[in-house]
Structures are given as C-alpha cells and as structure tokens.
Structure 1
C-alpha cells in the first residue's frame, strides 16, 4: 500500500497531482482532504494551498498473482502465471515444468492453493471475487473425468436401485456431476457431510 501527500491551488488540483505521481486513477485510491486551502486577499495575501493524502489501494488480482508467484518459487518451480478476468471470476492459468507438483493427487494441491489464493484476493477486494486455478488444462481434463464418473455411477444406481456416495469433492466439482445428471428424470443428487469431507450422493428419485 502506497500513500503520499500532495498540494495544489485547490483540492482537485492536489488530487490530480497525487494521481499523476502514483500513476493511477481515482477508482484505485482513497482520498483524505487535509486542507481545503484558502485563496486569500486578492488571491495573494493569506493564501494557502490545498493538501490531500492519497492512498493507493492494493489491486486484488496483482496481490493474488504475487502470492502465487511466491508460493511456486518457494516450491522450487519456475511457473508462468496468466490471469483471465471474466467479471468477478478470475482464472489464473499456470504453466511450466514439474507442474504435476502443483496439481497433486486428484487436484488436492491445486484446490488447496486455489482456496488460499481466493482468501488473499478477497482480503484486498471491495467485492467478492471467485478465484480459479488451472494448470496445463487440468480443470478440463478433470471435468471430463467427473462427467464420465457421473454416467458410470448413474448406471450403477439404475442397476442396483441403491444410492451411491462419491468421494469428498469441492463444491464446483460436485456441481459438475450434478449438472451432468440433470438429464436423468429418475436420478437426483444431494450433498452430505461437512467440508472438507462433504460429498455427493446419487440416488433414485422417490415416486410419490
């Protein structure tokens, strides 16, 4: 967080001076008026310049990216990080050597890092942001695996007439399976348990 004090013939001029020095815009700063200034007699005698304190607010995306860079560097990895912004959803795409270390078994390491990165971003944001991490297109491959799993488990439920409980998954992975099974009129899904053990259950709909 950077801040500085600037002066001008009036408040607006002082603010513009501060913005120029910080190389930023008004929406990125907080402004505190220290002195509104005084024109003085004939604009000369007793005049006093306006003074403001302008504080540059951290950019949540930059802070999240810096956090990711620090973590991956400490892991001994050389990772390239690209950010894609879609409204309030920020996707960080990670690429580089030994990327499997960032993914972990069934994406557990990537999911944990995603949660931490989201906490960092929202600590510096005035609106809630959703952070997604993807490493070498792992998310798409994982989604394909989940859809295939959903189909397989649905068929098992049809055959055995018994519900099937899946392994614990983060909410967005449970949503992938739920969405994939919406086409089956006789199948329903619900979540059970508490995080980090919350899991999805696939069952036949009860006939009323």
Structure 2
C-alpha cells in the first residue's frame, strides 16, 4: 500500500485506538495541529488497510479549518474500498469516528477531522449542491419555506453552505436521526450556521463552521 501526503497552511475502544498510534510531540500553531491530526489519522488508517488487506493511497489536506483525509485507489481498488463506505455511508461514518478517536488519543483534543473513502463524500456533495440549487429556486419563486428529508450532519452542512452561497438562509430542525434542513425565503444577512454535534456547520440550536 502506498501513501501520498499533502498539507495546506470537515468496533474498537479507546485503548485499542491509542495502542495503534505511538504518542508524538504536540504541535503549536493551528495549521501545524491540523497537519498533525491528518498525519495521525493517516497512520491509523494505513494500519487498518493493512489489517483489512485493502489497497489505497491516503491524501491529507486542510479544508475550511479542519483536517481532511481521503482514502483513494484506482478503479479496481475503489470497488474494494466501498466495503469501508457501506450501503448508505454508515460504515464510513463509524470509521470516521474511530479515526477521530485515534487522533484525540494522541493529541488530547477533540477533532473535527473529515474522512472520505473512495470519493463517497465528494460524489454526495455534488448531488446535494444540485439539490440545494433546485430547492433555492423553488423557495425563491414561491416565497415559502421548504423542508428537506432527514440528513446526516455532513449532508446538512453541505446544504447549508450551498444555500448560503445562493443567497438564502437555512436552519435545521428536529432530533437525530430525523434532523433536517429547512430552506427559508429570507435573503442571507451575515453569517449563518453553527457547530453540530460532530463539528459540522448547522443551525443556532446546536450552539455556535464538516
């Protein structure tokens, strides 16, 4: 398995996770801390790929103030990697949480690291941005708010960002797993969104960025 790394200035217990990665000196600047998070995550995921006998390269980046790690492969390898995604992305969500635990075990800090496997989130982002554009067009024409189907925190963040970029406001309502985005006919004024439970941008009910 090969690993490629680039950084720019979104079942195991903690004992198992901590044992998987040796401790390392704490980084100081925010940029260095995010780079460190990505490197720790890459080490953890490389070991996991070896155990699962899967091939893949690991790309590290920093996006929107969070470490971003992606496991990628060629066409044949991508098909195999989809085992780490699951039918609806549920395996990917669980793997992301395990990876965050691995990072937290080494840094001592909660992380908002975002993990993608086989381009799943990238493809989902494209679909959601198209959906947001369609909803914004309908809401702008009708002047009526529109409620979307329940989504994960990552999906809601993508929709919130897309709606804001198109000039309208949005919020989230409901409780997990039925939490959903509501697109409002109100023109955007200033910043919208707030941290959801996993650090993704969501509405003000969740406290005050994926």
How does the TM-score come out when normalised to structure 1? 0.56
Q: Flag the 1:193–1:68 CA change in 2: closer, same or farther, 3 A.
A: farther
Q: Flag the 1:203–1:65 CA change in 2: closer, same or farther, 3 A.
A: same
**1:62-92 CA distances to partner (integer Å, 9 max, x unpaired)?**
6632564377x1xxx6232515154861413
Deviates more, 1:147-156 or 1:95-104: 95-104
Structure with higher strand content: 1
SS in 1 for 2:108: coil
Q: Flag the 1:202–1:82 CA change in 2: closer, same or farther, 3 A.
A: same
CA distance in 2, matches of 1:26, 1:141: 34
Instruction: State whether residues 156 and 181 of structure 2, in contact with CA within 8 Å, keep that contact through their aligned partners in structure 1.
Output: yes
Aligned to 1:64: 44
Aligned to 1:89: 67
Shift, 1:202, TM fit: 0.9
Aligned to 1:79: 55
Structure 1 residue runs of 5 or longer lacking an equivalent are: 1-23, 29-58
Shift, 1:194, TM fit: 2.4
Aligned to 2:177: 196
How many residues are treated as equivalent by the alignment? 148
Shift, 1:195, TM fit: 2.8
How does the TM-score come out when normalised to structure 2? 0.56
Greater relative contact order (Cα 8 A, min sep 6): structure 1 or 2? 2
Shift, 1:101, TM fit: 2.8
Structure with higher helix content: 2
1:158-177 paired onto structure 2 within 5 Å: 158-177=140-159
The higher radius of gyration belongs to 1
Shift, 1:174, TM fit: 1.7
- Which of 91, 110, 130 is the equivalent residue of 1:128? 110
Instruction: State whether residues 91 and 134 of structure 1, in contact with CA within 8 Å, keep that contact through their aligned partners in structure 2.
Output: yes
CA distance in 2, matches of 1:26, 1:159: 55
Instruction: State whether residues 49 and 55 of structure 2, in contact with CA within 8 Å, keep that contact through their aligned partners in structure 1.
Output: yes
Measured on the aligned residues, the alpha-carbon RMSD in Å equals: 3.3
